[in-house]
Amino acid sequence: DDERNPRFDPRYADLSPDELPLTESLKEVIERMLPYWESEIKPSLKEQGDLLVAAHGNSLRALVMHLKGMSKEEILKFNIPTGIPYVFEFDDDMNFVKDYFLGDPEEVKKLMEKVANQAKGK
């Protein structure tokens, strides 16, 4: 009954409810996100030098997985704290150099643990 459910979106009015996905797997997010990274984000970042990307859980996981060359198992254990800027640095050829969270490392660690506990249903 959530108003954000796609069945309430007029763009999908011609589809039956069973044609609308209720969830999206990490694989599907990656398939959707990578073309956007290549066509929009990466060129803008290269041209402008700095770029802010604001996104939700699995979208960020997919991007981090791609940029850091992480395996599915690694990214599923990696918890991104909500609202903490996560910085990626690249060389002039857009090769990943390093990443870090902005903020006190101990506070970031606590927030990452909080995200992990949410995933466990705690």
Per-residue model confidence as pLDDT tens for the chain (122 residues): 788 888 888 999 999 888 887 788 899 999 999 999 999 999 999 999 899 999 988 899 999 999 999 999 999 999 999 899 999 999 999 999 999 999 999 999 999 999 998 867 65
Residue 58: other Cβ atoms inside 10 A: 19
Query: What is the span of the domain harbouring residue 45?
Result: 22-119
Does residue 49 belong to any structural domain of this protein? yes
Whole-number Å distance between alpha carbons of 86 and 108: 10
Sequence-ordered strand ranges (E) for the chain: 86-90, 96-101
Does residue 11 belong to any structural domain of this protein? no
Query: 26 and 58 in contact (C-beta within 8 Å)?
Result: yes
Task: Read off the pTM.
Answer: 0.78
Does residue 16 belong to any structural domain of this protein? no
What is residue 57's predicted lDDT score, i.e. its pLDDT? 84
What is residue 122's predicted lDDT score, i.e. its pLDDT? 53
Four-residue CA torsion sign, 98, 56, 119, 30: negative
CATH of the domain at 30: 3.40.50.1240
Whole-number Å distance between alpha carbons of 112 and 80: 6
Overall domain count for the chain: 1
Query: 114 and 81 in contact (C-beta within 8 Å)?
Result: yes
Largest CA distance in the chain: 50
Whole-number Å distance between alpha carbons of 68 and 100: 12
By C-alpha distance, which of 114, 113, 89, 90 is closest to 102?
A: 89
Query: 41 and 51 in contact (C-beta within 8 Å)?
Result: yes
Does residue 13 belong to any structural domain of this protein? no
Does residue 17 belong to any structural domain of this protein? no
Does residue 1 belong to any structural domain of this protein? no
What is residue 3's predicted lDDT score, i.e. its pLDDT? 84
